[in-house]
Structure 1
Amino acid sequence: MIKRILVASDLSSRSDRAVERAVQLAGQHGAKIVVMTVIDDDLPSTVVAQMRQTAEETMRAVLTSAHASEDAEITVEAGEPVRTIAEMTDTIGADLVVLGVHRPRPFWDMFAGTTMERLVRALNCPVLLVRDPVTAPYRSVLCGIDLSPSCLAAGRTAMALAPEAKITTFHAVHVPYRGLIARDESAKHLAPFVKEAQAHLDGWWEVAELPEGLPKPEISAASVNDVFTTALADSGADLFALGAHGRMPLSPSLLGGFTEAQIRDPRCDLLVVRG
């Protein structure tokens, strides 16, 4: 159940969409909204005070424009963004953190990752990245299934977030040395891999704690990017739910390469859930 939603805003138009989506979700679930922004605490105190007033006025105007409930709260904090947002998430007991699409900074992102990447690593609650204009509740949700606890958590959260939406799932099967084993991409050459993957999926589906109503995906012997692209086009999803986890022990992000790619360049609104 979603009772408290934290929106982390950088006061840009990208964040305005995050506020609008949070308002829509709050109305749908009867939740309370807290909108916050973070100011650099290294700035002089007089500058911080001026920025605080401007930020409060800006966020109040955005909330009014989005027709937010009168009990929506605004808070301006000074500090390092990720740590400060994580602390506020714990303080208010947020069930969901909502962000706008980040401003690309190629050099910095290469070494430090995007703010959302770092937030997903730091937070224990689901994070929603809002890319698209808000016109209605989510109508179609796409969920990736990779037989992990995190994909189940993502599916469960998405279905709770958008209870009226159509749910579609997909499952991609990696074929090692595909160019040598199945040069002609024939079903005959791919069949053994699909059969093995189907057995694993069937066995996992029997024992996993599946959220009620989550549809079983069909097996697709292709790269996860290709399968995702096809599934997104076929489903017309306006929300992609993704479980965040890393398969490599030395992964610096602990998110997984596909998840990182989606965070940096989302194709629609993105819900990232840690398992």
Structure 2
Amino acid sequence: MYQNLLVAHDLSVEADIAVRRAAQLARQHGARVTLLHVIEEFFPDRMMATVREAAEVALRDAARASDINDYQLVIRQGRAANTVTDTVQELNADLLVIGAHHQQLLERFDGTTLERIARHCRTPILLAVDESARPYAKALSGLDLSHCSCQAWRAGYRLLAPDAELLALNAYQPGKKADRADSHLDTQRELLRQALQDERTQVPATGPQLLCAVQQGTPQQALETALREWTPDLLVLGSRSRGAIEQAMLGSSTRYFLRRPPCDVLISQ
């Protein structure tokens, strides 16, 4: 269950989609909502009050359009990624909801604002892109049996309603020993089933229907195949790779799907 939702709103149309998703989740979980806007530009003191007032009006309009009656507004000044991450911690938010981000030229070297937030935020992040904001019915979770991916699976489990489905997908690469592929595939399926049994003890008894599958290929290939064939409305990913070199950055598959979201994407450390 999620009780304290924080929406990072940059006053864009895409951010309004995040507000609509937060409204749906607030109704589902009985959660409270905070709308945050970060003013990155520098303004003289005499102009700052006007800028803040305009931001507050925009946030109130977004909340009203999504039928959110119980909410609070937070307006901060600073760098967006750092300020959002600090506010998540300060407010003890248990889910950060954010809209699609338009990548700027200079960000190609340092990653988007969302990617910078994801590298440091310890709270699950939901990238909301579905304009309908219907309750999630089918979620796909990439599960490589790492601690990070298991944490993400738990975050997805807690987000979903009991009538939803959660498919845990493990990618399997047979390597050079193709003659042993079937045996290794059976072993991988058993490892995945055992992992899910262990994870089931870490989450509430009431939750979505659980499914699991092993798909041959790289993690990205396996996810793309499942996205195409199963058409989930939520993709759940760990924010870290299993590789030691990538522990300090986003995993390649996570970064790929954040930049090309096929549906709403939930990521967690």
Q: TM-score, normalised by structure 1?
A: 0.87
Secondary structure of 1:11's counterpart equals coil
Secondary structure of 2:212's counterpart equals coil
After superposition, the C-alpha distances for 1:47-83 in whole angstroms (9 at most, x for unaligned) are: 33222111111111111111102x2111211111111
CA distance in 1, matches of 2:194, 2:212: 13
CA distance in 1, matches of 2:64, 2:50: 21
**1:103-142 superposed matches below 5 A:** 103-105=102-104, 107-142=105-140
After superposition, the C-alpha distances for 1:173-203 in whole angstroms (9 at most, x for unaligned) are: 12336xxx66xxxxx5743542453454356
CA distance in 2, matches of 1:221, 1:210: 28
CA distance in 2, matches of 1:25, 1:221: 34
The residue number in structure 2 matching 1:185 is none
Whether the 8 Å contact between 2:149 and 2:238 is mirrored in structure 1 is yes
Bigger mean CA deviation after superposition, 262-271 or 189-198 = 189-198
The residue number in structure 2 matching 1:157 is 155
After superposition, the C-alpha distances for 1:206-265 in whole angstroms (9 at most, x for unaligned) are: 655564667352222222222212212332211111112133333385221111111111
CA distance in 1, matches of 2:95, 2:106: 26
The residue number in structure 1 matching 2:97 is 98
Whether the 8 Å contact between 1:155 and 1:214 is mirrored in structure 2 is no
Whether the 8 Å contact between 1:244 and 1:256 is mirrored in structure 2 is yes
The residue number in structure 2 matching 1:22 is 22
The residue number in structure 2 matching 1:82 is 81
Whether the 8 Å contact between 1:168 and 1:235 is mirrored in structure 2 is no
Displacement after TM superposition at 1:2 (Å)? 1.2
Secondary structure of 1:84's counterpart equals helix
The residue number in structure 1 matching 2:229 is 234
The match for 1:264 among 235, 259, 265 is 259
CA distance in 1, matches of 2:260, 2:248: 16
Secondary structure of 2:22's counterpart equals helix
CA distance in 2, matches of 1:252, 1:82: 19
Whether the 8 Å contact between 1:246 and 1:253 is mirrored in structure 2 is no
The residue number in structure 1 matching 2:182 is 191
Whether the 8 Å contact between 1:145 and 1:217 is mirrored in structure 2 is no
Q: Give the letter for the 2:113 counterpart.
A: T
The match for 2:238 among 243, 254, 259 is 243
CA distance in 1, matches of 2:64, 2:197: 48
Q: Name the % identity.
A: 29
Report the CA distance shift for 1:206/1:167 in structure 2 as closer, same or farther (over 3 A).
Answer: closer
CA distance in 2, matches of 1:247, 1:158: 19
The residue number in structure 2 matching 1:59 is 59
CA distance in 2, matches of 1:215, 1:139: 12
Whether the 8 Å contact between 2:95 and 2:125 is mirrored in structure 1 is yes
Secondary structure of 2:106's counterpart equals helix
Whether the 8 Å contact between 1:17 and 1:132 is mirrored in structure 2 is yes
Q: Give the letter for the 1:101 counterpart.
A: A
Report the CA distance shift for 1:127/1:205 in structure 2 as closer, same or farther (over 3 A).
Answer: closer
Bigger mean CA deviation after superposition, 86-95 or 201-210 = 201-210
The match for 1:143 among 141, 144, 150 is 141
Moved over 4 A (4+): 202-214
The residue number in structure 1 matching 2:11 is 11
The residue number in structure 2 matching 1:37 is 37
Bigger mean CA deviation after superposition, 37-46 or 160-169 = 37-46
Displacement after TM superposition at 1:12 (Å)? 0.3
Secondary structure of 1:250's counterpart equals helix
Q: Give the letter for the 1:63 counterpart.
A: A
Larger radius of gyration: 1
CA distance in 2, matches of 1:82, 1:197: 38
CA distance in 2, matches of 1:2, 1:207: 22
**Aligned pair count?**
264
2:224 is equivalent to residue 224 of structure 1: no
